[in-house]
Amino acid sequence: MGLEVKRVALTFAWPEGEIWPGYVNPFYAECRKCQGECLADCERCHGADVAPDVQRLYDAWEAMDTEPPKGEGWQMWETVSEGSPVSPVCRTTEELARYMELNPWSIQKATYDQWLKMITNGGYACSMVVVDGVCYPGVVAAAEGI
């Protein structure tokens, strides 16, 4: 859970901070109806906490989640929730690094060079890394090899 770079269409315009619906399994709520309240003689799930037909739909959907439209743009996404953009779509890695430096997300305060390294070297950083009791923002840890 943290941040990841996505290559999206330059015209992609999903609101920052709003979860992308392609990552939200529509059967999640249906699967959780019995959870914690089920009795062994429940007619819906027969004690399994999830009705078998709903569980099959939920599991099948997991393989079909929908990514945002791919393209030439660069965009930072959070992966702490189901996933949502935390930056506008940028034309270059440098533009995205500059945006993230000037508009840090959560605890991810890093320099332009650290953001650029993270973006171009795999494009992923966890939320944070703790080494010998010292907490580092994930972007810093990814960029500096911590």
Taking the domains of the chain in order of start, what are their residue ranges?
2-20+69-144, 26-62
Where residue 34 falls (left for φ over 0; alpha for ψ -120 to 50; beta otherwise) is alpha
Q: In this predicted structure, what is the pLDDT of residue 74?
A: 98
Percent of the chain at pLDDT exceeding 90: 41
Q: Strand (E) positions, the chain? A: 2-8, 73-78, 84-85, 124-126, 128-131, 134-137
How far apart are the C-alpha atoms of 118 and 51, rounded to whole Å? 43
Q: Which whole number is the average pLDDT over 113-139?
A: 90
Query: For residue 16, how many C-alpha atoms fall within 13 Å in the half-sphere facing its CB?
Result: 9
Alpha carbon distances (Å) from 87 to 67, 72, 73, 84, 139: 17, 15, 11, 9, 15
Instruction: Please write the tens of the pLDDT for every residue from 3-54.
Output: 999 999 999 999 998 988 888 777 666 655 555 555 557 666 565 556 667 7
DSSP 105: B
**pTM of the prediction?**
0.76
